[in-house]
Amino acid sequence: MIRSLFSRARNPEERRVRAWCRKTLGVTPGDLPLYRQALRHVSAVSEERPDLPDNERLEFLGDAVLDAIIGDLLFATYPDKGEGFLTRMRSKLVSRTQLNMLARRIEIERVMESNVSRSHESSVPGNALEALIGALFLDRGFDRTRKVVVKLIQAHIDLREVEKEDKDGKSRLLEWGQKRRKKVEFVIREEGGGGRGKHYVAEVRINGEVKGTGKGTSKKVAEQDAAQSAFRSMRSRRSGGGHHRAEQG
């Protein structure tokens, strides 16, 4: 799993990334190029160096690893809570807003390669954090990655405050389906564009029937939009029968 634990940094950028990983993550990278890839946004790949890999594939992997780590953490932290609560909490902890906040608190932008303006509100820091988790998993394995991620969460996120936050649309819809034994699925139906022009189309299926569609610049945004579309659709069908409980959670 560890390609070369004693590999040396070959240039100032690698030395900077290695020092940051040691200080912030408590990990000495074994495969420095892998970590640099995780911290390289597609906007930083120039036409002169198209061979440089960006962090999108590692972001995909890190997203899956993070879901497993958060699920394990919440399962142990809340032994008396049901699936609906755990699903809602996981959704909050892996939301783009939460990941961006955590990424900025650990100052990930100090070691990122990106040509996206920092003054521009974007998901770049949170995406880089997910990619970094993917790199850490490949380099050091799941157990070490879990320890690093849990330590970061405990240091920078108050789970009690997260519990108090209002439920987002997707979480409310999932909990609503759980309570009523209905199968709620979020499916990415379409993906197009590239770079900053990338867009997604998501749909919500309840017991296999499409109840709402949504669009967004990320999968999570599209899913949230689709959840709100489903709420509107179900409200309109019940317009003559009182309020809609799904929106109350």
pTM of the model: 0.63
* Average confidence (pLDDT) over 194-215: 87
Identify the active-site residue in 54, 59, 63, 225. 63
Min mean pLDDT across 89-98, 99-108, 113-122, 193-202 is at 113-122
pLDDT at 163: 80
Identify any residues that bridge with 209 across adjacent strands, giving them in sequence order.
206
Task: For residue 175, indicate whether it is catalytic.
Answer: no
Residue 30 has pLDDT above 60, yes or no: yes
Min mean pLDDT across 62-66, 99-103, 121-125, 205-209 is at 121-125
* Average confidence (pLDDT) over 209-222: 87
Residue 93 has pLDDT above 70, yes or no: yes
For residue 10 the two structure tokens come to 């070959």
Amino acid present at 220: K
pLDDT at 199: 85
Based on the number of CB atoms within 10 Å of its own CB, is 28 exposed (0-12), middle (13-18) or buried (19 or more)? middle
Residue 215 has pLDDT above 90, yes or no: no
Domain 12-164, classified CATH 1.10.1520.10, yes or no: yes
Maximum distance among all Cα pairs of the chain, rounded to whole angstroms: 69
* Average confidence (pLDDT) over 58-85: 93
Residue 6 has pLDDT above 50, yes or no: no
pLDDT tens, residue by residue, 159-189: 988 887 645 788 888 888 888 899 999 999 8
d(CA 62, CA 93): 14
Domain 169-248, classified CATH 3.30.160.20, yes or no: yes
SS (H, E, C) the chain: CCCCCCCCCCCHHHHHHHHHHHHHHCCCCCCHHHHHHHCECHHHCCCCCCCCCCCHHHHHHHHHHHHHHHHHHHHHHCCCCCHHHHHHHHHHHCCHHHHHHHHHHCCHHHCCECCCCCCCCCCHHHHHHHHHHHHHHHHHCHHHHHHHHHHHHHHHCCHHHHHHCCCCHHHHHHHHHHHCCCCEEEEEEEEECCHHHCEEEEEEEECCEEEEEEEECCHHHHHHHHHHHHHHHHHHHCCCCCCCHHHHC
pLDDT at 12: 81
d(CA 136, CA 199): 28
CA nearest neighbour of 207 among 230, 177, 179: 177
| pLDDT band (50, 70, 90) for residue 219 | confident
pLDDT tens, residue by residue, 129-167: 999 999 999 999 999 999 999 999 999 999 988 887 645
* Average confidence (pLDDT) over 9-28: 89
Residue 196 has pLDDT above 90, yes or no: no
Q: What residues does each domain of the chain span? A: 12-164, 169-248
Identify the active-site residue in 54, 59, 130, 225. 130
Q: Which one has a higher pLDDT value, 242 or 235?
A: 235
For residue 17 the two structure tokens come to 């990334």
Cα separation of the two ends of the chain:
43
Task: Tell me the average pLDDT of the chain.
Answer: 84
pLDDT at 66: 97
* Average confidence (pLDDT) over 213-240: 79
Min mean pLDDT across 52-66, 87-101, 107-121, 197-211 is at 107-121
Q: Give the angle 170-173-176 at the CA atoms, nearest 5°.
A: 150
Task: For residue 31, indicate whether it is catalytic.
Answer: no
Residue 125 CB: number of other CB atoms within 10 A? 24
Residue 47 has pLDDT above 70, yes or no: no
Domains 12-164 and 169-248 alike in fold: no
Q: Which one has a higher pLDDT value, 148 or 96?
A: 148
